[in-house]
Amino acid sequence: MPRATPLAARNDTPKVGARVRSLRRERGLTIEQLAAATALTKGFISQLERDRTAPSLSSIARICDALGVRLSHIFEREPDHALVRRNERVPVETAFSTGSHLLSSRDEERFQAIESEVAPGAGAGDDLYSLPGEMEFVYVLEGALEIQVAEETHVLEQGDALTYPLSK
């Protein structure tokens, strides 16, 4: 007779937390706003987004309704790759560039890539943009760029790259 494996012990159980977090952020909602719209607690939403609790079908249905997606959308498997076509790039506003575009998928939380055209003499000042992730990567396609990381100033020229923690 086949033995049943408890749901919590199975490796193929869909993790819906990251999907809920991504959809919530895409819609510009806070955890508090999603909780209010679903009559669920902030703590529950927070734990769900970190896959620390297993939601009921009823809870997921309320969340899907509040986010405006089908129930099946939450359970779809994420592809292990993302393609962003040139004509699908999302414009990004920065204080220092004449044009910036998101090169990575909007849904990607681990890595974000932005292509920026910086005018000669332009500076970021205090209006830096913020991206999710742990590291910053700068690659100079053309020209030169002076960049300050913590207390150190670097001059990057065409083909140079710099990587540093976002906390700096």
Q: Which pLDDT belongs to residue 138?
A: 85
Average of per-residue pLDDT across 11-30:
82
Plot region of 37 (φ>0 → left; ψ -120 to 50 → alpha; else → beta): alpha
Average of per-residue pLDDT across 111-124:
76
Report the percentage of the chain scoring pLDDT > 90: 30
Q: Tell whether the model's pLDDT for residue 10 goes beyond 50.
A: no
Q: What count of other Cβ atoms lies within 10 Å of the Cβ of residue 146?
A: 9
Q: Which pLDDT belongs to residue 48?
A: 94
- Averaged pLDDT score across all residues of the chain: 80
The CA–CA distances, whole Å, from 21 to 60, 70, 92, 131 equal 13, 16, 21, 15
Quick one: pLDDT band at residue 37, thresholds 50, 70, 90?
A: very high
Burial class (CB in 10 A: 0-12, 13-18, 19+), 80: exposed
Convert the pLDDT of each residue in 52-108 to its tens digit. 988 899 999 999 999 999 988 888 776 667 777 888 888 877 766 777 777 777 766
Average of per-residue pLDDT across 135-151:
86
Burial class (CB in 10 A: 0-12, 13-18, 19+), 19: buried
Q: Which pLDDT belongs to residue 125?
A: 58
